[in-house]
A and B are shown apart, each in its own frame.
Chain A
């Protein structure tokens, strides 16, 4: 059997034509508003990405069940960022130009959001992310005001950490940060806020991701004899750090972001190790009816409770915010929709929690959509300003003691 180059190229050509055809047909559909779900299905964001994507789809179903937005059905096209800026840019370009999406929702890591935002700005469409990097708020990234952030900025997390340390009476804090925009943003935000209060940080360590051990970094921090260590870390590295710290036997308190000090961490290292750790997270709007609707959808789609994935609650809210803005703008003109996003989410107005309810209320007057992830009020930079819940891990349970407002 011989194979020629011509045959090979011919096969590739035929395959390309075959794949190309349906996408051209798809791009013709009328009467729909197409949204791109660009979530980290694989890579380091994978514990959250699938759930985020499923909630975008579920929220679109809820919108469509209530008759769509401005008479149009919401259609979702999904792509995977692979949690890599390179791959995300290619995927975003495909969503924007081939699928003609009019909004891109669900980018997770800061690097990915920063890489994708030039493309969405070029196309004059909305980007909604769950990233923490402060750079996303201002030009050049958000030069056109089309980018919205559903997660508290790392700066805000840092300020909340400083409030908590002061309230708990800590005197000698040290910091440990995972070296990416989000991890360092947390601890730098803390340092700024803490020094503004006239105190000092005794030691700051930034560590590289994906190490089998963090013993030397940990020793450096512990050598400064801190009474509390504030981290900007993730689950995998925190698991290792916790084990190694427990072995060291040196008593110290920990303040961590909620995505690191989660029930999964308790499961991974055992309740004895993590006893007394303070876990800080932006408060999901847990008592709101919108949270109940989200929780129900999340359980149905994944079999897990809604609180296991705070980012999924954010993507659920993203679809609601966009759909309500379309409904309020009564059309698909992007400038008009963008102008309505704050109007439907921020106060004043009638507080509403589900899409069907909001759509009805919108006929009568101004609404204020309260999301599942937060009350969803955007400032002039397109950032939400959530409150922070302070949880103490006690006997393997995360118990919320109080709420910090900044």
Chain B
């Protein structure tokens, strides 16, 4: 039971990193990023390929993953400069699918649909509960690091300007802010965080394959961020942990529901997720932790 809970907390932490990534690009910069799974995959593959095949140290792998995520973010951002809202959403969704399909076809580069088995782990696997606990500490440390970073950014003039860009691009540019620069920075930073999440995920489960980066994961993170509050780091983190807790709880609920077949139980779980979101959004339309309006700094 203990390692199960630890396992879920690690997965929750990975989701919390992804949620913070989405919060930065979507909640703060207003860039609807449906390509989250793609950046997640870029990070996971970058680190897994380096550490498994080139025997690079994990720290190097993770650093490269963050860089690769950031670069991919920059690339996507510059190729979508003039897009907002729905159009950007579609292009980023396409990006995620491109990453997945390239990963499953370029066998020489990624190992194709077999994926990469035996990715090295951060804490030795045969240490039992310490493997999970150690990995949990590392991932939670990453979540806290990103959280503190986001809080700092948010409180800084950069964060204010970013929100100004989100609210009204024209006003922001009239005020002398470079829209392109802010968008590119925010998007690329968000993608780097997703890359970090991917690397940590690969080093925990020891297996990276294209199938793991289906668009469903992006939808889950959107759920988490919507439920938690899409413009506050704390909201995103809380939403991610709650999402994992909720998804797992439905597993046990389906088990004790009387007289349902396996197929019906599986469907019930999906229904529960939908109902859960509807309830949260009805009761708390801005998420559990809505954005606080900031006072202008006294000067």
Contacts and interface: CB of A to CB of B under 8 A. Distances in A.
Interface of A: 3, 5, 8, 12, 15-16, 19-20, 22-24, 27, 39, 41-42, 46, 49-50, 53, 78-80, 82, 84-86, 89-91, 93-94, 96-98, 109-111, 114-115, 118, 122, 133, 135, 139-141, 179-181, 184, 206, 208
Given A115-B207, A118-B206, A208-B101, A16 B249 contact: yes
B292 to A, nearest CB: 14
A41 B211 contact: no
A108 B111 CA distance: 20
Contacts of A22: 256
A110 B248 contact: no
A94 B251 contact: yes
A100 B109 CA distance: 38
B114 A84 contact: no
Given A8-B288, A179-B105, A94 B4 contact: yes
Interface string B193-233: 00000000000011101011010110000000000000000
Contact of A114 (B105, B117, B246): B117
Interface of B: 1-4, 7-8, 11, 101, 104-105, 112-115, 117-118, 125-126, 131, 205-207, 209, 211-212, 214, 216-217, 242, 245-249, 251-253, 255-256, 261-263, 265-267, 283-284, 288
A50 B8 CA distance: 26
A91 B205 CA distance: 13
B288 A115 contact: no
Given A82-B266, A86-B217, A93-B7, 5 more contacts: A90-B11, A90-B247, A97-B2, A97-B3, A111-B113
A23 B248 CA distance: 13
B249 A15 contact: yes
Nearest to A206: B105
27 contacts: A5-B288, A8-B283, A8-B284, A12-B242, A12-B246, A16-B249, A41-B262, A46-B263, A50-B262, A78-B262, A84-B212, A84-B216, A85-B211, A96-B4, A97-B7, A109-B211, A115-B205, A115-B207, A115-B209, A118-B205, A122-B126, A133-B114, A139-B118, A140-B117, A140-B118, A141-B118, A179-B104
Given A78-B262, A111-B113, A84 B256 contact: no
Contacts of B242: 12
A15 B251 CA distance: 13
B275 to A, nearest CB: 13
A180 B113 contact: yes
B63 to A, nearest CB: 24
**What 9 pairs between A and B have smallest CB-CB spacing?**
A140-B118, A97-B4, A19-B252, A111-B211, A118-B206, A42-B266, A181-B113, A180-B113, A80-B266
A50 B2 CA distance: 30
Contacts of A110: 113-114
Contacts of A93: 3-4, 7-8
A86 B7 CA distance: 13
A16 B262 CA distance: 22
A164 to B, nearest CB: 25
Contacts of A85: 207, 209, 211-212
Contacts of B205: 89, 115, 118
B263 A42 contact: yes
Contacts of B117: 114, 135, 140-141
A180 B212 CA distance: 13
Given A23-B252, A89-B205, A98-B4, A53 B115 contact: no
Given A16-B249, A140-B118, A41 B263 contact: yes
A205 to B, nearest CB: 12
Contact of B212 (A49, A82, A86, A141): A86
A94 B263 contact: no
Nearest to A96: B4
A84 B7 CA distance: 18
A109 B104 CA distance: 15
Contact of A27 (B1, B3, B216, B283): B1
B98 to A, nearest CB: 11
A118 B212 CA distance: 15
Nearest to B6: A97
A89 B4 CA distance: 11
B232 to A, nearest CB: 13
A122 B125 contact: yes
Contact of B248 (A94, A141, A184): A94
